[in-house]
Amino acid sequence: MAEIRAFIAVPLSEKNLAAIRDLRRRIEPRYPQMRWVRTDDQIHLTLRFFAALPEEDLDRIHESMLSVGDLNAPFSVKIRGLGGFPRLNRPRVLWLGLEPSAPLVALHRRLEGALRREGFAPEERPFTPHVTLARARRRGGEEIKPPAWGRSWCGGSLDVNEIILYHSRLNPQGAVHTPLYRVGLNGTSSQKEHHT
């Protein structure tokens, strides 16, 4: 039985990605120990991650996504603030936050509920909406002085109008994310991607 690595996420617009590329140019010299996520195809807002998923479960996940898409209207949320796990001055993960958003919390809660009804165990970690920018190449390292303006940086509005199930393949150059299913919010559309 083949297992795949997958996740459900909200894609970012080209306008969001352009703002993030500009931010990266400004801060990359401060964080030499970080491996940066490719902005063309890897930056997204993850709603749910599946580390090892039997392929036959994909249709049940799609059904969960469809039920959630029918119940949620499109909305926007602001991308704001540079942060780090565990700390911005010595991060293992560098990320961008999102302003508190009741529609985003509701979307995540409904998605978790739909997945639970399909037999998927709930996520163990609490939902902390963020967009990952970079990961540390190694643990430790020198303390970094974050930019003073980092926490107030704004990357514009993220329009949340669809959710996508991606297949994530790991390779030496980094992960490759392939869309499997796209579901529009408010029941606007559903599309199965075809890949060879």
What are the pLDDT digits (tens) for 78-134? 999 999 999 888 899 999 999 999 999 999 999 999 999 999 999 888 999 999 999
Q: pLDDT of 133-175, one tens digit each?
A: 999 987 766 788 889 999 999 999 999 999 999 999 988 777 8
Q: Which two tokens stand for residue 129?
A: 């909406």
- How far is the CA of 24 from the CAs of 96, 102, 151, in angstroms? 11, 28, 14
Q: What's the whole-model pTM score?
A: 0.91
* CATH number of the domain located at residue range(s) 3-192 in this protein: 3.90.1140.10
Residues catalogued as catalytic: 44, 130
113: buried, middle or exposed (CB in 10 Å: 19+, 13-18, 0-12)? middle
